[in-house]
Structure 1
Amino acid sequence: MEFTTVGVVGAGVMGVGVAQNLAQTGHRVVLVDLTDEILDNARRELSTGLRAHALLNKGAGADPAQVFGRIEFTTDYELLAKADFVVENVTEDWDVKRKVYERIDRIVRPEVVFAVNTSAISITRVGSVTTRPERVIGMHFMNPVPMKPMVEVIRGHHTTPETIDTARRFLAGMGKDCIVVEDMPGFVSNRVLMLTINEAVFLVQDGVASAADVDRIFKTCFDHRMGPLETADLIGLDTILKSVEVLYESYNDDKYRPAPLLKKMVAAGLLGRKSGEGFHKYR
C-alpha cells in the first residue's frame, strides 16, 4: 500500500509536528481536530515551524508554501475516509482516546493501520475498542517531530508482523527509523523519563535546588542536551502530569505518584513553552 494521504488526528504540538514532517516528505495530510480555533492555532504553528526549517536547511527541501499546501485542515472526521494511514495524537486521556477510536474506526477503510501516538496508554487497550486490533500499533514520536530521526514503536497484543512491517515502511517514508518494544504502560522511554522528570519536580518542591540548577547538573555533568525540567516544559506539564497519572494507575506503585508541585503548576496554567511559562520562562 502507498501512503499517499495520511490522516492526522489531533492538532496539538505533536499532531502539528507529525503533519509538518509528513508534508515535508511529500505526503498529503488531512489534519483533524474539534474546533476551528484549534486548527487556526495549528496553522500558525505550522507556518512558524516551516519557516524555521527553511532557515535551518537553506537550499534543501520544498518551498514552505508548497509544503503547507499539502495539509488540509478540517473538523470533519469523515474526510479520514481517504486516508491510507492514520496517526492519532489526542490528549493522554483514555476516555478521550476511546471515543476517537470508536469514531474513526467506522470511517477509515478496514485495511488501514492506526498508529497511536502515546507516551503511556496501552496499545492493546486501544485496539480492543476497534474492529482491527491487529492493525493498531503504537508510534511514540519524539518532540520536535521533524528533527527526531527515531520513533519508539509499540507492539500490542494483537499487532501482527505485517502491521509492524507497514509501520516501518511508513516511518521510512518520513525519513525515520524505529525501535520496536513490547506493550507495557510507559514503554521504555517514558517509563524512565517520566520518573526522572517527576523526581526532578520533587527536588524543586523540596528546595534541594532551583529548576535552573537541576537542569544545569544534567547538561554539564551528564552531557544531556536538555535538562529534565526543560524537557518537561517542551513536552507540556499537562501532558507530563497525565502520563505520570497513567503510570501510577497502571502499576499501582507509589514511585509513580505525581509531585504536588506538578499538579499545582498545571492547575495554575503554567504548562511550559506552550503557555509561555513552566519551570522556565519563555515570554
Structure 2
Amino acid sequence: MTSTPAEQRVFKTIGVIGLGTMGAGIAEVFARNGFTVIGVELSEDAIERGRQHLEHSTGRAVKREKITEAEQAEILGHISFTTSIDGLADADFVVEAVVESIEIKKDIFRRLDAVVRPDAILATNTSSLSVTEISTANHSPGRVVGVHFFNPAPVQNLVEIVRTVVTEPDVLDAVTGLVGQLGKNPVVCGDKAGFIANTLLFGYLNHAVSFFEGHYATREDIDAAMRFGCGYPMGPLALLDLIGLDTAYEILDTMYKQGRDRLHAPAPILKQMVTAGLLGRKTGRGFYTYDGPDSSAVVPDERTPSADSAPQLQHAIGRVGVVGTGTMASGIVEVFAKGGYDVLYVGRSRDKVDGVRATIERSLDKAIGRGKLDEATKVEVLGRLTGTTTLDDLKDVDIVVEAIAEDLAVKTTLFENLDDICKPGAILATTTSSLPIIALAKATSRPQDVVGMHFFNPAAIMKLVEVVTTVSTSDDVAETTRALCGKLGKVAVSCGDRAGFIVNALLFPYLNDAVKMLEAHYATADDIDVAMKQGCALPMGPFELLDVVGNDVSLAIQRELYLEFREPGFSPAPLLEHLVTAGYLGRKTKRGFRDYSAR
C-alpha cells in the first residue's frame, strides 16, 4: 500500500466503532470540531444507549454554560448511527472503542479491510492490548495506529499515540496532526502494554496495594500520605476504586504477561477482591465502602477509625526543642511557634541561630503580604522563639525534634547527647526521610521515647507529617506525636520504620520507572511529563519533579529502597546514576534532565 503524504491528507469523515462511555466521548470530541462522525454499534438498543451518552454529556456542557443549546444541536447533528460496519466505506479515519478483547478487536480490523478505502487510517483506543497484534488482522498493518483517549474524552486533553514497528511514518504524522486539530495534546510512544501513563501509574497503584495488603499502613493513611505529601488529587486506593479493581487487575495482568516485571504482577489481594465482587465504586464496595453502586460518597465500615479513637496527648507538651538551622529546621520551628508552643532551637553558631529567626521573619512577612497573617500575630510568634548554641539548654523541653544532616553517624552522636541531656520522659523525634530510626533509638537508654516525625518541605506549608514508629516506640509516645501533629494543623499518618516510609517508598520507584522508560527511548521526557500531568492529573511530571528534588537526592533514596527491599525493579536506573556522576543534579546545578542555564 502506498500511503498519502501527511501534508495531503484531509480528514472529513470519522468512523467510531463502539458507543459506550469512551466511544461516545470520542465521537463527541470529533463532532465538536466539525467532523462528520459515523457511529457503529451492534444493535439499535446499543445505538440508543450511545445516543443517550452523547445527549447527557453535551447536556451537562449546556448546563455549565460551556456550550449553547444551538451548539449542542449542531454537535449532535454531525453524528449519524448505523449497525453495519459497511457504513464506514467513506471514512477517512476509523477508531474502534469496543471491549478490551484482542479477538473482538482483531475481528473488527479484519472486517474493515473489505470496507474502507485503501488510504483510510485505522486506530484502536485500547489501553493495554498490543496494537501490533491488532494491526496484523488488517492486510495493511502500516496504516494501523493506537490512539488512546483518556476518560472522559471530551474533558481530558491527553491522547497517547501508539506506534508499532510497522506503522508508516506519514500515518503517524497525520494522526498526530489530527489529534492536535482536536485541541488535544498528543504524546507518541511505542507499543508496550500500558503505554506511558498506565505503565507508570499502575506500577505505583500496585505498590500501594501491597502496602495495604501487608498491613504496613491503613488505607486512610496511604491515601492521605500521597494526597498531602505529593499533592495528588486522589490517594492510590481511592483511585483504584474509581477505576474499578477488575479493570486494574486486567491492566496489571496484561502488563506483567508482556513485560514480566514482577512489580506489575497484580497484588494477590486484588484478585481476591475481584473474585469477591468488590470492584470499587461501581459495586459500592472496594477498598472503601460507598453508599451504593456508582456512588462517590464513602460511608463508614468496619475499617473506618471511630471518632473515639482520635489520638490524645498522653505526654504533656509545653516547651519544644529543635536541633538544626537549615531550611527544614527553620520551617519546623515556625510551625511549632505558630501552633502556640515556646520553641528553643539549637544551632552550631550564633550566626546560624540568628539566621533561623531572620528566615522565619521573612516567612511571616510574606504571609502578612498575602493577607494570611497580621502584625500582632507575627509579634506573638516571634516572642515564642529562643535561639541557643548550647545543647544543654534542652534539658527541660518536653520534645526535641532533630533536623540536621542526613548522616547516620552525626545523628547517632546527637541522640547519644540528647539522651544524657533531656529529662526523663522527653520525646526524642527525628525528621529523617531515609535513615533507620531504630539505629538512633538504640543509641539511647530510652528507645521507647524515640519516634520519627517526618515533616515535608516546606514544613510551614506542607500538611503531611509521617509519624514513624520502631519496634521499640511506646504506644503513648506514638499517640502523643500524632495528637501533637493535629494541634499543629498537620495531617499525621502512621507507618513503621522501613526505608522510604509511605511517600518516598511509593513515589521514588515510580520516578525510577520513568527514568528507565526514558533511557529505553520509549518516549521523550516531555511526552512522559505531559502524559502524567494530563493523563493522571499529577501536579508535576516525573522529570520536572526529579529536577526539583535533585537527582543526587533521588538516587540516594532509590539506593536505600533497593538495599532495604532487594527488589530488582528498585535498582536505580543507570541514566540517573550517570547524570549524578556528571554533576547534572537538576535545577540547583542548572542542568538535570533538562537544561536550565538559559532560564
Q: Deviations over 1:185-208 (max 9, x none)?
A: 222211111222223333444444
The partner residue of 1:258 within 266, 277, 283 is 266
- Name the SS for the 2:88 alignment partner: helix
Deviates more, 1:162-171 or 1:254-263: 254-263
Q: Within 5 A, what are the aligned runs for 1:1-283?
A: 1-58=9-66, 63-274=71-282, 278-280=286-288, 281=290, 282-283=294-295
Q: Deviations over 1:60-96 (max 9, x none)?
A: 6953233223222332111121211011122222222
Distance in 1, Cα, partners of 2:287 & 2:154:
25
Does the CA-based 8 Å contact 1:92-1:239 persist in structure 2? no
Q: 1:278 to 1:45 in 2, by over 3 A?
A: farther
Q: 1:275 to 1:189 in 2, by over 3 A?
A: same
Does the CA-based 8 Å contact 2:31-2:79 persist in structure 1? yes
Q: Which has the higher contact order (CA 8 A, sep 6+)?
A: 1
Amino acid in structure 1 at the alignment position of 2:147: M
1:137 Cα offset (Å) = 1.1
1:269 Cα offset (Å) = 4.7
- Name the SS for the 1:147 alignment partner: coil
Distance in 2, Cα, partners of 1:121 & 1:166:
23
Does the CA-based 8 Å contact 1:9-1:33 persist in structure 2? yes
Does the CA-based 8 Å contact 1:143-1:235 persist in structure 2? no
Distance in 2, Cα, partners of 1:78 & 1:167:
23
Q: Deviations over 1:156-197 (max 9, x none)?
A: 101122011110221122111211112222222111112222
Does the CA-based 8 Å contact 1:92-1:243 persist in structure 2? no
Q: 1:206 to 1:70 in 2, by over 3 A?
A: farther
Distance in 2, Cα, partners of 1:35 & 1:276:
29
Q: 1:275 to 1:145 in 2, by over 3 A?
A: farther
Q: 1:251 to 1:76 in 2, by over 3 A?
A: same
Distance in 2, Cα, partners of 1:277 & 1:25:
39
Amino acid in structure 2 at the alignment position of 1:140: H
Does the CA-based 8 Å contact 2:16-2:95 persist in structure 1? yes
Distance in 2, Cα, partners of 1:213 & 1:61:
45
- Name the SS for the 2:154 alignment partner: helix
Q: Deviations over 1:99-137 (max 9, x none)?
A: 221122222222111122122222222222211211111
Q: 1:261 to 1:65 in 2, by over 3 A?
A: farther
Q: 1:48 to 1:194 in 2, by over 3 A?
A: same
1:225 Cα offset (Å) = 2.1
Does the CA-based 8 Å contact 2:128-2:195 persist in structure 1? yes
Tell which structure's C-alpha radius of gyration is larger: 2
Distance in 2, Cα, partners of 1:136 & 1:223:
38
Does the CA-based 8 Å contact 1:93-1:242 persist in structure 2? no
Deviates more, 1:181-190 or 1:211-220: 211-220
Q: Deviations over 1:183-239 (max 9, x none)?
A: 222222111112222233334444445545433332222112233344334444333
Identity %: 37
Distance in 1, Cα, partners of 2:39 & 2:221:
39
Q: 1:231 to 1:46 in 2, by over 3 A?
A: farther
Unpaired stretches in structure 1, ≥5 consecutive residues: none
Deviates more, 1:119-128 or 1:133-142: 119-128
Amino acid in structure 1 at the alignment position of 2:94: V
Amino acid in structure 2 at the alignment position of 1:113: I
Amino acid in structure 2 at the alignment position of 1:174: L
Q: 1:34 to 1:236 in 2, by over 3 A?
A: farther
Distance in 2, Cα, partners of 1:38 & 1:237:
25
Amino acid in structure 2 at the alignment position of 1:255: L
1:248 Cα offset (Å) = 1.6
Paired residue total? 283
Distance in 1, Cα, partners of 2:192 & 2:31:
31
Amino acid in structure 1 at the alignment position of 2:63: L
Distance in 2, Cα, partners of 1:14 & 1:148:
11
Q: Deviations over 1:131-159 (max 9, x none)?
A: 12111111121121111222111111011
Amino acid in structure 1 at the alignment position of 2:53: E
* Structure 1 length-normalised TM: 0.87
Q: 1:227 to 1:110 in 2, by over 3 A?
A: farther
Does the CA-based 8 Å contact 2:41-2:82 persist in structure 1? yes
